[in-house]
Amino acid sequence: MKSLRIIRFFLLAGIWLFAGIPVTAQLKNNSAKSFSFVRKELNSGLVFSVTSDREELRTNKSFNYEEWLTGAAGYRWENRSQIYLPFRHEEWNYLFEAGPFFGKGELIDSFSSKVIDAETKLAGLRGLARAAYSSRFYFDDKNYTIVHTNVWAQYDLFRQNAEGTLMDSNRVTTPYDVRSEHSDFRVGIQARAGWGIGRLSPVNHFATASLLLEKYYPGRLFSEVEVVEVAREIGRIKHLRDARSGHSAEKELEALGEFLRKRFLLEPPASALHDWELTEFRPRFHGTRFEFGPFFNYLNIEPDFVYGGYAKFENQKYCSSKWNRNLSAGISYNGYKKQDWILLETMLGWNWFPNLKTEYGFGVKYIPGMEVDGLDDLGKVRHNIVPYLEYFKQVNSKCRIETALAWRIAPNDQFMLPGPEVSLSVYRSRY
């Protein structure tokens, strides 16, 4: 029966991995494969977040478990680069963040001589530094290699109030009320490499061209080839920008108007400056890719070192200038010194663009997991569901607002801690 359980698990993984392939649509003439997108940003602003988390440490003589719900606010400075060219897709960013945080939770601290069970409240200051790099190098139209790294360090300085009970070795219970000061330093490294086939092509400039042509030339029907030409000219203009020195939206729009006049004998769009400044929405993609390879994750707390292999399928469809559909499914085998496990992570979602400056995202993630001690010793499949909502708004040419809300629904905390994930960012951007 246990062998059948793992077979059913992998069948489910296969269904989710390949369910999206038949519905994948390609832009005509395969033009999406040649699309490019380059953006370099310098962002600074305020960030707020609420999340639930835990830490657990077991030894032969002790057991320590902490679970808490924390809220944090801070100031963030970020340098972000996104480069999607026909032969390589590259992303890198580094950020620094500092500010106060607060929270509450529970503490269980067990030794051979005593057991502490208490509710905790904490407040303090947090500093965070992160650097991430991802590269997909294409050695032909479809096949590529991938390298991804993410390194972060976090330092917390806080005061903790713990109120509860203390039970000694004679099983005598007394009140426990302790105020203490702590500092935590956390370091994490995530790395993976592998191979892949397929491509997610950036369609931001194609969407921009479609929206501008539809709005400012309503009596003219443009073929897809013509829209692609305008999209490539938009890309050529925007890719000349320098995030540090800035750019002139007026000169960029003049260049686009001159191209439209020479190529299509059209008058430059009147009063389009405001719309042009609001065409800096987040990257949108179209296409399908599948990749696999080894990975490892390191933390300076338990679980300290996890390694294994993964396979991931992604399908994103540019439905229209106002809609994108996103489907992904990935499966990983995670090896750890105390316990191995298999995790399947799937996602189905949509992005809606009611206008140039606003984006809504919504969908659901289904994440089942199963402990593995060998083919003859399999754990029970644990089902976890995470519905999510996203909101992105360009207030003006410089100011952005990003909001994300998710709720982790889990029958237990074996693979995922139930609770909310909320984030809000309000920042200024130079690009």
> Rg of the chain's alpha carbons, rounded to an integer?
25
Q: How many CB atoms lie within 10 A of CB 106?
A: 15
3-state secondary structure 43-111: EEEEEEEEEEEEEEEECCCCEEEEEEEEEEEEEEEEEEEEEEECCEEEEEEEEEEEEEEEEEEEEEEEC
| Amino acid 286: pLDDT | 94
| Amino acid 6: pLDDT | 45
Q: Give the C-alpha separation, 321 to 81, whole Å.
A: 24
Q: Which residues contact 91 (CB under 8 A, 6 or more apart)?
A: 81, 82, 83, 132, 133, 134, 135
Rounded alpha-carbon distances, angstroms, from residue 265 to 215, 229, 366, 423:
17, 14, 51, 47
Backbone angles phi, psi at 164, to 5 degrees: 180, -135
Please, what are the averages of pLDDT over each run of 10 residues along the chain (431 residues)?
A: 45 43 42 85 96 79 82 96 94 96 88 81 96 96 95 95 83 85 93 96 93 90 91 94 86 93 88 89 94 95 90 95 95 91 96 93 96 78 94 93 95 82 95 88
